[in-house]
Amino acid sequence: MQRGNIMLKLNEKYKKEAVPQLKEEFGYKNNLAVPRLEKVVINIGLGRAVADSKIFGQVEEDLKLITGQKPIKTYARKSISGFKIRQGMPIGLVVTLRKKRMCDFLEKLINIVLPRMRDFRGIKSAAFDKSGNYNLGLSEHIVFPEIDYEKVTEIYGLEINIATTAKNREEAKRLLDLLGFPFATLR
């Protein structure tokens, strides 16, 4: 990560650049009314790990390295015989990041991970929901710098949900845009 004026930390960038800009564009009267990042949820679904519990342990360790926080297992709510899943089986992992860990993760995502992706031309701006939350899917976990390529036996994807306090898509997109998210331009 670069230091100095070139790259401000995410929290400083929000306070110094995003808040005044959003107040001007959307007419907020108070700094507390300006949309902000609330939390980041990282989710991995592991249908393959049902057959091999070694994979589950490795994925759990990788997610712990990526986020700096211990993941929580998610369990199947009902049995699905076609997928060989029984009720109560572990089928995924989830991590919820807030405050400093959230900011650190997003800085790493914006400045290191996304540029390392193969054929990266920007993230889609259509992945916002009505409430102003953004969903991003990564097909390979090996783009994170903490993952050692030599030890990887399975490549798996993960989903990243960025929850904001924005009231609609436009406000949320502008917030993430001001924070430095590399959205794809229309061709």
CA–CA dist 135, 121 (Å, integer): 17
Helix axes 19-26, 169-178, angle to 10 degrees: 150
- pLDDT higher than 60, residue 4: no
Mapped onto helix, strand or coil, the DSSP state of residue 35 is: coil
If one compares 88 and 50, the residue with the highest pLDDT of the two is: 88
Residue type, 82: G
- pLDDT higher than 80, residue 141: no
pLDDT in tens, 22-45: 888 888 888 888 888 889 999 888
Per-residue confidence at 1, pLDDT binned at 50, 70, 90? very low
Residues of the chain above pLDDT 70, percent: 89
Q: Residue 37's CB: how many other CB atoms inside 10 A? A: 25
Per-residue confidence at 48, pLDDT binned at 50, 70, 90? low
Do 166 and 33 contact (CB within 8 A), yes or no? no
Q: Which of 7-16, 37-46, 123-132 has the lowest mean pLDDT?
A: 7-16
CA–CA dist 34, 24 (Å, integer): 10
The first and second tokens of residue 151, run together, are 């030890």
Task: Tell me what the mean pLDDT of segment 160-182 comes to.
Answer: 86
Domains in the chain, start-ordered, CATH in brackets?
Answer: 10-46+58-74+93-178 (3.30.1440.10)
If one compares 119 and 50, the residue with the highest pLDDT of the two is: 119
pLDDT at 52: 67
Sheet with 158-164, side-by-side order of all strands: 72-75, 90-97, 37-45, 158-164, 134-138
Residue 73 forms beta bridges with which residues?
93
CA–CA dist 18, 37 (Å, integer): 12
pLDDT in tens, 170-179: 888 888 888 8
